[in-house]
Chain A
Amino acid sequence: MIRLKDIHVTFNKGTPLETRALRGVDLEVPEGQFLTIIGSNGAGKSTCLNVIAGLTKVESGSTEIDDKIVTGWPVHKRSRMLSRVFQDPKMGTCEDLSIIENFALAHGRTSPRGLRFAVASGMREEAAERLKVLGLGLENRLDDKVGLLSGGQRQAVSLLMAATGDTKVLLLDEHTAALDPKTAEFVLDLTKNIVSTLKLTAVMVTHSMAQALHTGERTIMFHRGRIVFDAAGEARDKLEVGDLLELFKREQGEELADDSLLLG
């Protein structure tokens, strides 16, 4: 469960570059819901995700995860409750560590790390079993440095790592944007699979309206730091990308300037 209450974020406050990134965002994502977020560049969708993750400090408002108020918590402390997959495949894994060491690191996210050997007994078998599902042959390369893998492979590993431990919340920041279409589809299918199997509360930021509408069960749209549109259930099922654009124009009374929203 994620709850944002009246979140305000301003970047470069008091300078000529002052930007009000979020202007009073209220959002509640109930447990087990898969929410997708769309919006043009600078609309506030990634900022919203960063507020949940703790990367961005809020000016006012409160953040709750699983009924705990986490507003002032640093990133590493919140990581015990949520996991993230980044846009850049290089960001989600550590290239100087081997695949198995990356998994061990992900294990340590929810269970305390200590001076015992990181790769505990049974961890290799478990990791191999989960990697096998990908069908990429990574289960035979456990001791390879992650830096040797391709972007798609790394993103798949990131996803599996994010699903390690007993996290309830998964944050996805345009995690398929940097991949080729085929790999993107593969990673997206894997995402859907993991979210439904582990019954995760998931928030996915995306640039593609089609992806937003066909993934998960609820879609919200950001514009100029506010949530301008929120659809779930049947109302959302009926929506097409065109409707969404139409709706967006009506609500805002202006043309969409960003072409990237039309793509995909």
Chain B
Amino acid sequence: MSLYEILGTLETGFIFGIVALGAFLTFRILDFPDLTVEGSFPLGAAVAATLMVAAGWNPWIATICAGLAGFVAGFITAFLNVRFKILHILAGILVAISLYSINLKIMSGPNKPLLRVDTVFTYLDVFGISGYIINPIFLGIVILLIKLLLDAFLATGYGISMRAAGSNPAMAEANGVNVGNMKLVGVGVANALTALAGALFAQSFGAADAYMGIGVIIIGLASVIVGMSIMPSGTIFLATIACIVGAILYRLAVALALNADFIGFQASDVQLVTALLVIIALILQQSGNVRSIFRRGNKR
């Protein structure tokens, strides 16, 4: 891999690291398997792109609006679950599916190219460094800030209530925590992060696309699982680092798999490679070593 490719991998790795932090919040902290992200990632892209192209908004404000839209999407999923007792996975799928149509409506079509408009990356030109170098640096700073904010939030009174609500709901309630509210806010924040990542991805990629959400849930989850299985994640501080490292490693693994001609993968095989990686990571996490994949029977 060339330096150019590595920096490109870092760039997408950081963007999907934001998705991974969201997945960490839902899957690990809240114990709420949230599939809304399949819809909220392209939602963020669609909202940001449309506001920038059709409405001529400032890209920073458009990106923040994308995050807010994501929050609403996550909030609705959690609301369906908390208020109407719809199974969390189903609630997420329902919202993600409806978002597909909504995204088409927002963009008035299946995609929205970001040609000749200022993106947040255009603003980085003032540093006079080529985009392929400054973009990953900028995104690295962004994700570091998000990570530190998330760490701090999870150490607040509200934050530990959220952690308790996910880990031991009965105990949380007995200590005065409104578990339903925690889900509403937590899933909302996770989807705000995902939509933010979607908005940044569209600006880095040059277009928003209604199909760009496919597999996002697995990417986020894979990053969390890969990161946590290879790095210490005993504290929140370490766990969020593990998520980001997992996202980068995951992108690297995909890039390598697609680059290695001898395996014969093509770009269209990305989802297959993703799924295989996650399956391997999950098996490793259960058993702790590679050989067990080939061992017969279940010895746990």
Contacts and interface: CB of A to CB of B under 8 A. Distances in A.
Interface of A: 53, 74-77, 79-80, 83-84, 86, 90-97, 101, 104-106, 108-110, 113-119, 145, 161
Most buried by A among B156, B157, B168, B177: B157
B172 interface: yes
Interface of B: 152-153, 155-161, 163-164, 167-168, 170-179, 234
Which of B161, B167, B176 counts the most A-chain CB atoms under 10 A from its CB? B176
Contacts of A84: 174
Contacts of B178: 74, 76
Contact of B175 (A77, A79, A114, A117): A79
Contacts of B168: 90-91, 93-96
A106 B160 CA distance: 11
Contacts of A90: 168
B159 A83 contact: no
Given A105-B161, A115-B158, A94 B176 contact: no
Contact of B157 (A80, A110, A115, A161): A115
A113 B158 contact: yes
A110 B167 contact: no
Contacts of A119: 155
Contact of A118 (B159, B171, B179): B159
Given A79-B174, A79-B175, A80-B176, A96 B157 contact: no
A91 B170 contact: yes
Counting from the closest, the 7 A-B pairs by CB-CB distance are: A113-B157, A79-B176, A96-B167, A109-B176, A75-B173, A118-B157, A94-B164
Nearest to A78: B176
Contact of B167 (A86, A94, A118): A94
B179 A105 contact: no
Contacts, number: 90
Given A94-B163, A96-B163, A96-B167, A108 B174 contact: no
A101 to B, nearest CB: 5
A76 B181 CA distance: 11
B28 to A, nearest CB: 9
A161 B234 CA distance: 23
A91 B167 CA distance: 10
Contacts of B158: 113-115
Given A115-B157, A117-B155, A118-B157, A83 B164 contact: no
**Residue in B156, B170, B171 with the greatest tally of chain A CB atoms within 10 Å:** B171
Contact of A97 (B153, B157, B160, B173): B160
A29 to B, nearest CB: 19
Contact of A108 (B161, B170, B171, B173): B161
A108 B171 CA distance: 13
Contacts of B163: 94, 96-97, 101
Most buried by B among A74, A76, A91, A145: A76
Nearest to B155: A117
B196 to A, nearest CB: 20
Nearest to B174: A84
B157 A114 contact: yes
Given A92-B171, A94-B172, A76 B179 contact: yes
Given A76-B179, A108-B161, A114 B171 contact: no
Q: B152, B172, B173, B234: which has the most chain A beta carbons within 10 Å?
A: B173
Of listed B155, B168, B173, B175, residue having the most chain A CB within 10 A: B175
